[in-house]
Amino acid sequence: MFPQFREENGMKVSSVPLSLANLEIQLAEILTPFGEQLPRPFPVLIDDFMNSLPDVFTQMLKDAEAIFAGDPAAKSLEEVVVAYPGFYGIAVFRIAHRFYQLKVPVFPRLLTELAHQFTGIDIHPGATIGDYFCIDHGTGVVVGETTVIGNRVKLYQGVTLGALSVVKDQASRKRHPTIEDNAVVYSNATILGGQTVIGHDSIVGGNVWLTSSVPPYSTVYHKSEIHLRNVGEGEDRS
């Protein structure tokens, strides 16, 4: 998707048409074994996917810009695209989500699990994620299937957007939270439940555990408690 950053490996912009043709052949090889499980003939699905690539690329570029703007350590957009695990995890999700929307079985999950192996970022391809999504660092991030994330949301490493329970008969329900526009969720926060909504422009601090909604412009912090002991006595003074 970003051949201008891969010229050192022999990839040039002029070779994009040939690469796309090869991609169509590879996709045909991947989808053919699914046969009757596909909702439509695989040539139609491949055409739909290829036609969606410009939009997917635009979303990826917005994500890269959000990561670049959100990380003072990032020196260039190129660095974000080629080296940042947060961008890699999101980029693979964008592609997998498109196959998920086309109702291709198994393959979308294989793609996001591949990104999970490389980055530690586990995003279900069914999640709905808006533009300018930023994941900082990323290791340990979990985003469940029915999660809804708005625009310009930022997650730090270790964040879990999960379900309150794993009961099988709730598979068709919204089980994961909604994070509205411009929210920031700091490291190791856990937000659970399909009815839980983090209002827009809110900040959820590190290590917070949330199972209920918070209104827009909220700030939620985990309160640390310090207990002092009398030296030599081992008694708690507070």
Other Cβ atoms less than 10 A from the Cβ of 141: the count is 26
Is the C-alpha dihedral spanning 52, 53, 56, 58 positive or negative? negative
**Confidence label for 41 from pLDDT (cuts 50, 70 and 90):** confident
How confident is the model over 101-149, as pLDDT tens digits? 999 999 999 999 999 999 999 999 999 999 999 999 999 999 999 999 9
Residue 234 confidence (pLDDT) above 70? no
Question: Three-class SS of residue 88?
Answer: helix
HSE-up of residue 139 (Cα within 13 Å, Cβ side): 0
Residues pairing with 162 in the sheet: 192
Q: What are phi and psi of 17, to 5 degrees?
A: -55, -40
d(Cα 93, Cα 122) in Å, to the nearest integer? 9
**% pLDDT > 70, the chain:** 92
HSE-up of residue 195 (Cα within 13 Å, Cβ side): 2
HSE-up of residue 90 (Cα within 13 Å, Cβ side): 35
Q: What is the pTM for the complete model shown?
A: 0.88
How confident is the model over 191-214, as pLDDT tens digits? 999 999 999 999 999 999 999 999
CA-based nearest residue to 136, from 183, 201, 96, 185: 185
